[in-house]
A and B are shown apart, each in its own frame.
Chain A
Amino acid sequence: MIRIEKRIQPLRYQGIFAATSAVVIAFVVGCAIFAGLGVNPLTAYAAMGKGVFSSADAFSEVLVKATPLIFTGLAVATAAVMMLWNIGAEGQLVWGGICAAGAALFLFPQTQPWLLIPLVLTASALGGMVWALIPALLKAKLRVNEILTTLLLNYVAIIYMEHLFYGPWRDPAGFGFPGTAQIPEAAQLLRFAGTRISLGFPLALLCAVMLYYLLYKSVWGYQVRVIGKELRAARYAGFNVTGKILAVMALSGAFAGMAGMVEVCGIHYRLQTGLAVGYGYDGIIVAWLAGLNPLVVPFTAILLGALFVGGEQLQSVLGLPSTISLILEGALLFGLFTGQTLVRYTVTISGRSKEVS
């Protein structure tokens, strides 16, 4: 007989406990998978580690992967602080990419070069914002579950993007490859010393710090946190809950939109397949692993980035499928929620009910 009972007081250091259990469970799951594939788990983990830390070049790729993850992590965290589930960071990222590419391609000759990047960034943030406001309005006005609407709108965004680069926006000089023309140099983000790390990375860090200040040092952020933690107390205090749902989702969408911008303007230099590779969904893990703390998000984004880079290494060195990193990612989330449950509940295994005659 398994009995699950709520703890009267949650465990202390819940965030650390949950994050640790996530890492431990993912590690154990990984061991089982490697062993199942006939590879010594230690060899496999060593290969992953080596792939990440062997050279500055290798590690720079981790930061490249972490850049959009920080943005999508912040997007998910912003909404989740108010107990809203933004599963749509992927679609908002895509819209951010569409708007960034569109602005870069079509505003270019008429605009001052120095003004182009700020305009492109703003366009991408607005694109993500508008896409996030659709589910936000449905949630605030009609109480439509935002998990479903944000998720489903992802597919709409991706298909529309494909329509653009297969159709009207396709590069006429592209030898038939699906994708837009390359964006002008003035719209490309500066890269650091021979790596693919762009200005997007420091921009992401700046956004993390800004979100932290907004949530923890502003009156608005205080209200958002109260709404997320105790809706009835927020109503009692007279906070405008509907307005906050819209504002928080808009901000969340803006962060995801900027993820699309740094991908388009920092990596691909055009709109093409490969923009929607799941960073929006990965943001969920980044955010929750960070305990929704914006200042921790960059670190968990780097952790996940390392997992991806290490996964690629598994393929090239050991001939294992790189998708193992996706399994490890899933195990991280699973372990995190296990840890979060154990923080709040006790599980006891006892014998049959007592019956004395």
Chain B
Amino acid sequence: MADPVISLSKVTKRFGPVWANREVDLDLFPGRVHALLGENGAGKSTLMSILAGRYSADGGTMMMHGREVSFNSPAKALDHGIGMVYQRFMLIESMTVSENLALSAGKAHGRTGIDQVIHQTAERYGLGVDPEKRVFELSMGERQRVEIIKLLMLDAEVLIFDEPTSVLTPPEVDALFEVIDQLRAEGKTIVLITHKLEEVLKLADDISIMRKGRLVFSERIDARQMSRQQLARLMVGRDVVLRVDKKEVAVGETILALQGVSGDSPLGGPSYTDVTLEIKQGEIFSIIGVAGNGQVGLVSAITGLSQARSGTITFDGATYNAREWRMASREKIAYVPEDRYHSGSIGAMSIADNFALTRLAAYRSGMAGMVLDREKMAADGTRAIRDHNIKVESSEDSAGSLSGGNLQKVILARELTRNAKLFVAEQPTQGLDISATEEIWRALLECREKAAVLLVTGDLKEVLSLSDRIGVIFNGRILEIIDAHDSDQVDRVGLLMAGVRT
């Protein structure tokens, strides 16, 4: 067995109160593809950005070929042969491919020789791209090739790919995999950050899994010997199912029904296809899937943030087409969005202000409802702080000063106060500690006594603890809807998340 090229030990990185990485040990070997898996926010990208010099670690050491190194810039890391292909490409769109490459690799090759080197590199790895084209004219796959060529021209020894297939079409994915295979054969060290199990099974030699900033699993195994199910379990961490006190609640009438709803994600993410489901008063219906399977787009269509392409939506007895629903949905649904920092709240405004964000109608007073009733806002804010046990001095403190858990409680309290018939919670406990998680779970369970609840999450534990019915989404489709009380069926959820229907 060769010695590791890179050896991280006890690497730690904090962003304010959040531990992005906590004492992570990781070895990377030459000629192997190392898959780094984990949910959103598990700390994969942060860890690799430290290795690639974009962030500096707060603690721990990095060894390269047995010597301690640390990089204060990506350029420094590249000097040592470590490069990263980011999800968002680092290219100047108005410049040509050759100009872009000259910017980073020009020093090594000279402006005049560069076209030839591009040509040679492209030829050798099958990375065809026209050096004279401007970057904005290129497809996402071509742009990625430019990024890879950039690293190869600088003789990178360690290549880190951050979710490289998320922007690619299927043929481009195949082409990328061939390139990665060739790089491996040449003895390069490859890191593949992903949450797609197929890719792992196809490519990886080593697997590490991160959860909440820690490395929870890392082994030198031949990944292809593993089943998808094992992988899914490892990734989502199924072993610790907390039991919550779940009151029996009588299931009532259907509140929301989707009929053949299809559409795209608002920001060009994965689409969702032909989704049909019903959510009833008194139940928690969960949509679970590995990130990037279309759930973001589906939720935005349900909550009216984006418009589905086709299908009909029935809400509380009235039927809407996709466009009508977008206009009508706002008032009807309480919604805790995934991004609690930028969508769910305004960090620079007070808690009282945040508590009013989706409930402005309650504070209209005076002059035809144009005046904002500040006293009532302050009083309601203070009451919410007390009722929901939010740890803060006063309702005039800024939302940005709250911890993630307390902020989420403010958002949750606000949406609960709306008394909507449908309550949508998207990744409601992501990144929260256990006590905050439990409080939010309790609130959701209580909520279903008065409303229908839609929970969208990638956390299997959460789904199994709370749901009455579970819809598993894979590749934009709801593969199956499972009754959470049927324990034989529930075991299949992990498998379905990996796209296996048995």
Contact = CB atoms under 8 A, between A and B. Distances in A.
Given A9-B16, A233-B345, A236-B305, A219 B363 contact: yes
A218 B343 contact: no
Given A229-B349, A232-B339, A238-B330, A353 B72 contact: yes
Interface of A: 1, 3, 8-9, 217-223, 225-226, 229-230, 232-233, 235-238, 350, 353-357
A29 B348 CA distance: 32
A217 B378 CA distance: 13
Interface of B: 15-16, 67-73, 76, 304-305, 330, 335, 337, 339, 342-349, 353, 356-358, 360, 363-364, 369-372, 374, 400-401
A7 B73 CA distance: 19
A354 B270 CA distance: 42
A237 B357 contact: yes
Given A219-B370, A238-B330, A354 B70 contact: yes
Given A9-B401, A219-B370, A222-B356, A353 B349 contact: no
Nearest to A8: B16
Contact of A233 (B15, B357, B372, B400): B357
Contact of A218 (B344, B358, B372): B372
A233 B370 contact: no
A8, A217, A225, A238 pick with most chain B CB within 10 angstroms: A238
A200 to B, nearest CB: 27
A298 to B, nearest CB: 23
A227 B473 CA distance: 33
A353 B71 contact: yes
Contact of B360 (A217, A219, A353, A356): A219
Contacts of B342: 230, 232-233
B72 A1 contact: yes
Contacts of A235: 305, 343
Q: Lowest 6 A-B CB distances belong to which pairs?
A: A8-B16, A238-B330, A230-B346, A236-B343, A356-B68, A353-B72
Given A230-B342, A233-B344, A236-B337, A222 B370 contact: no
27 contacts: A1-B72, A9-B400, A219-B360, A219-B370, A219-B371, A219-B372, A221-B372, A222-B360, A222-B372, A226-B357, A229-B347, A230-B348, A232-B343, A233-B342, A233-B343, A233-B344, A233-B345, A233-B357, A236-B337, A237-B357, A237-B358, A237-B360, A238-B330, A353-B72, A355-B70, A356-B67, A357-B67
A9 B344 CA distance: 19
A174 to B, nearest CB: 47
Given A236-B337, A237-B357, A237-B358, 12 more contacts: A217-B372, A219-B370, A222-B356, A222-B360, A229-B348, A230-B345, A230-B347, A238-B304, A355-B70, A356-B67, A356-B68, A357-B67
A148 to B, nearest CB: 17
Given A229-B349, A236-B337, A217 B401 contact: no
A354 B304 CA distance: 51
A292 to B, nearest CB: 12
Contacts, number: 80
A3 B71 CA distance: 12
A328 B149 CA distance: 50
Interface of B is mostly: loop
Given A8-B16, A232-B342, A238-B304, A217 B374 contact: yes
A319 to B, nearest CB: 48
Contacts of A223: 360
Given A8-B15, A233-B342, A353 B70 contact: yes
A336 to B, nearest CB: 18
A228 to B, nearest CB: 9
B344 A236 contact: yes
B328 to A, nearest CB: 11
A230 B371 CA distance: 22
A226 B345 CA distance: 9
Contacts of B76: 353
A222 B353 contact: yes
B69, B304, B363 pick with most chain A CB within 10 angstroms: B69
Contacts of B369: 219
Contacts of A233: 342-346, 357
Nearest to B66: A357
Contacts of A354: 68, 70
Contacts of A1: 72
Contacts of A8: 15-16
Contacts of A229: 346-349
B69 A355 contact: yes
A8 B76 CA distance: 25
A85 B339 CA distance: 27
A220 B76 CA distance: 50
Contacts of A356: 67-68
A206 to B, nearest CB: 18
A218 B371 contact: yes
Contacts of B374: 217
A155 B360 CA distance: 42
Contacts of A9: 16, 400-401
A69 to B, nearest CB: 27
Contacts of B67: 355-357
Contacts of A355: 67-70
A258 to B, nearest CB: 22
A41 to B, nearest CB: 38
B330 to A, nearest CB: 4
